[in-house]
Homo-oligomer: A and B are copies of this chain.
Amino acid sequence: MISRTARYALHVLAILAARPADRLRGEEIASATGIPVNYLSKILNQLRKAGLVESRKGWGGGFQLQAEAGQRPIRDVLVVFDGLESADRHDCALGRTACDNEHPCAMHDEWAGVRDGFTRMITATKVADLAQ
């Protein structure tokens, strides 16, 4: 549902959202989250390319939440790391391609409910909400 990498990203954003005025080194974020440093650097890079964080190199450098990123929904993060299909699900729980409202599978309605709850969760929750 949410990949480990995407959860990492959310955890990182939570840390940054808690201190929006500070610039944190990758090393700090790694030790605060427990995410392996090298892997984290890839994640931070993707967050930067997605416009969610700003970075500065060299002495005094580090990462900081991008100005308006706090108001972005969690969904935006999931799209980056898990793809659109994972964020906007309209799949069948059994993987049937022929499953729709006219020809529902046995779990169609209940699965639609689960998906809706998920969608509502990731659109209602904003990055800023993650700050502990």
| A residues neighboring B (CB under 8 Å) | 1-2, 4, 7, 10-11, 14, 74, 93-96, 105-107, 110-111, 113-114, 117-118, 120-121, 124-125, 129-130, 132
Contacts and interface: CB of A to CB of B under 8 A. Distances in A.
A117 B121 contact: no
A76 B117 CA distance: 24
Nearest to A119: B114
In the complex this chain forms, how many copies of it are found? 2
Given A1-B1, A114-B114, A121 B107 contact: yes
Contacts of A107: 74, 121, 125
B94 A11 contact: yes
Contacts of A124: 110
A74 B114 CA distance: 16
